[in-house]
């Protein structure tokens, strides 16, 4: 029977919702146990949150001062040790999981399945390649631990609240390197919903034209309670920070509503939004490829349309 270890992602003492999505994928394996591993300098609050997630059997904590920041080189040896006895190790396919999971896989001497979209059987998964232009079915060798990252946009967050899984402190005997040191994290300070878990997202592209103009996007997003995203072209041009990039090489998201404003719809952008519930495109070019996949398209100048949308929303 399968036993799955899910690596918790957290920041500033809060569990990231990607963890509950990875738990959903773990549940799909239909194993006998799902344990969540929290590596932190002070894991208590995060562990308490993880214990509430439905489907979680146990929460294991490793409290060490070295775990204050998520450095892959420091975390991976601990995860590799903790993985003993587990058939699967899952991490979310976020920059955190993408950084640490392959390092764990290599320490275990196994391959990794990246961006799991579905679990077909305990060792059979589907995943996207070529920016999502093809979906492959991969079979991992059942004789080895499966290390996988979970494409968060493909999985709902496992519900939270009903569960009360036991929390156990774990001591792992792993020598930790000092060759990698945390310096700082510059977070985009924002009171807006988190881009990766928001139910509504408004994104701006090169068509927005400047950093100053992007205020129109922020203002409209705030009006409807949406998170704000961007195309690569908008980020490259300095209109907005990198963490807002949506797409093949940015964030893959699945909001209920996605509004692409002044975005042409390059394949690399579309791969980041194809699981969105409803896609709205606003573009002045009627031939823009974004209209090919949009549920609702509106052709016209965004600088004229956005104020009209605000007016139509009423007071």
Partner 1 sequence: MKILVGYKRVVDYNVRIQVKPDGSGVVTDGVKLSANPFDDIALEEALRLREKGIAEEVIVVGIGPADLTAHLRNGLAMGANRAIHVVTADAVQPLTAARVFLKLIEKEQPGLVILGKQAIDDDANQTGQMLAALWDRPQATFAGKVEVADGKAKVTREVDAGLEAIEVDLPAVITTDLRLNEPRFIKLPDIMKAKSKPIDSIEFGSLGVEAHDHLKTTQYAAPAKRSKGVMVKDAAELVAALKQKGLL
Ligand X SMILES: Cc1cc2nc3c(=O)[nH]c(=O)nc-3n(C[C@H](O)[C@H](O)[C@H](O)COP(=O)(O)OP(=O)(O)OC[C@H]3O[C@@H](n4cnc5c(N)ncnc54)[C@H](O)[C@@H]3O)c2cc1C
| Interacting positions 174-233 with ligand X (CB under 6 A) | 205-207, 231-233
The listed partner (ligand X, partner 1, none) that binds 54, CB under 5 to 8 Å by sort, is: none
Q: Which residues ranging from 283 to 302 are in contact with ligand X (CB under 6 A)?
A: 283-285, 288, 301-302
Least Cβ distance, residue 76 to ligand X (angstroms): 16
* Minimum CB distance to ligand X smaller for 94 or for 231: 231
Query: What does each C-alpha distance from 205 to 99, 282, 302 come to in angstroms?
Result: 28, 11, 11
Ranges within 124-153 binding partner 1 (CB under 8 A): 124, 126, 128-141, 144
Return the one option of partner 1, ligand X, none that residue 103 interacts with (CB less than 5 to 8 A, by type). Answer: partner 1
As measured in angstroms, the least distance from the Cβ of 128 to partner 1 is 7
Question: Segment contacting partner 1 (CB under 8 A): 41-49, 120-128, 155-163, 214-222?
Answer: 120-128
The burial of 255, by beta-carbon neighbours within 10 Å (0-12 exposed, 13-18 middle, 19 or more buried), is given as: buried
In the region spanning residues 87 to 126, those forming contacts with ligand X, defined by CB under 6 A, are none
Q: Which does 1 bind (CB under 5 to 8 A by kind): partner 1, ligand X, none?
A: none
Should residue 84 be labelled a site residue for partner 1 when binding is judged by CB under 8 A? Answer: no
When asked if residue 234 is in the footprint of ligand X (CB under 6 A), the reply is yes
Q: Please choose, out of 36-44, 163-171, 209-217, 251-259, the segment that lies near partner 1 by the rule CB under 8 A.
A: 251-259
β pairing state of 10-11 and 14-15: antiparallel
Max Cα distance, the chain (Å):
62
Min separation Cβ 196 and ligand X, Å: 14
Provide the residue count of the chain: 315
Q: What is the DSSP string of 246-309?
A: BSTTSB----SEEEEES----HHHHTTTTT-SEEEEEES-TT-THHHH-SEEEES-HHHHHHHH
Who's near 136: CB < 8 A, 6+ residues apart?
A: 126, 127, 128, 129
Q: Provide the CA 284 distance to its chain's centre, in angstroms.
A: 31
Selected range binding partner 1 among 20-28, 39-47, 48-56, 302-310, rule: CB under 8 A: 302-310
Distance CA 121, CA 29 (A): 7
Neighbouring CB atoms inside 10 A of 73's CB total 15
User: What's the closest the beta carbon of residue 241 comes to partner 1, in angstroms?
Assistant: 7
Binding site for ligand X (CB under 6 A): 205-207, 231-234, 245-250, 262-264, 266, 268-269, 272, 283-285, 288, 301-303
């Amino acid at each position: 029977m399968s036993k799955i270890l899910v690596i918790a992602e957290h920041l500033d003492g809060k569990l990231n919702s990607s963890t509950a999505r990875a738990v959903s994928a773990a549940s799909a394996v239909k194993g006998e146990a799902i344990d969540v591993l929290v590596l932190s300098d002070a894991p208590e609050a995060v562990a308490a949150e993880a214990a509430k997630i439905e489907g979680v059997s146990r929460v294991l904590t490793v409290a060490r001062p070295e775990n204050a920041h998520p450095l892959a080189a420091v975390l991976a040896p601990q995860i590799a040790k903790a993985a003993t006895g587990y058939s699967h190790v899952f991490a979310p396919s976020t920059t955190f999981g993408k950084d640490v999971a392959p390092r764990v896989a290599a320490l275990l001497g196994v391959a990794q399945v990246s961006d799991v979209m579905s679990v077909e059987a305990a060792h059979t998964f589907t995943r996207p390649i070529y920016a999502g232009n093809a979906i492959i079915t991969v079979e991992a060798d059942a004789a080895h631990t499966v290390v996988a990252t979970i494409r968060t946009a493909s999985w709902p967050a496992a519900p939270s609240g009903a569960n009360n899984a036991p929390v156990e402190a774990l001591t792992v005997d792993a020598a930790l390197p000092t060759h990698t040191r945390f310096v700082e994290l510059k977070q985009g300070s924002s009171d807006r919903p988190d881009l990766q878990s928001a139910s509504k997202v408004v994104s701006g592209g090169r068509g927005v034209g400047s950093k100053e103009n992007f205020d129109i996007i922020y203002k409209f997003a705030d009006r409807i309670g949406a998170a704000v995203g961007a195309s690569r072209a908008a980020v490259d041009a300095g209109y907005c920070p990198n963490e807002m990039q949506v797409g093949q090489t940015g964030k893959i998201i699945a909001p209920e509503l996605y509004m692409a404003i002044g975005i042409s719809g390059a394949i690399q952008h579309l791969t980041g939004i194809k699981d969105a519930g409803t896609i709205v495109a606003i573009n002045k070019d009627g031939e823009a490829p974004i209209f090919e996949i949009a549920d609702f398209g509106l052709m016209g100048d965004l600088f004229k349309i956005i104020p009209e949308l605000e007016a139509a929303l009423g007071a």
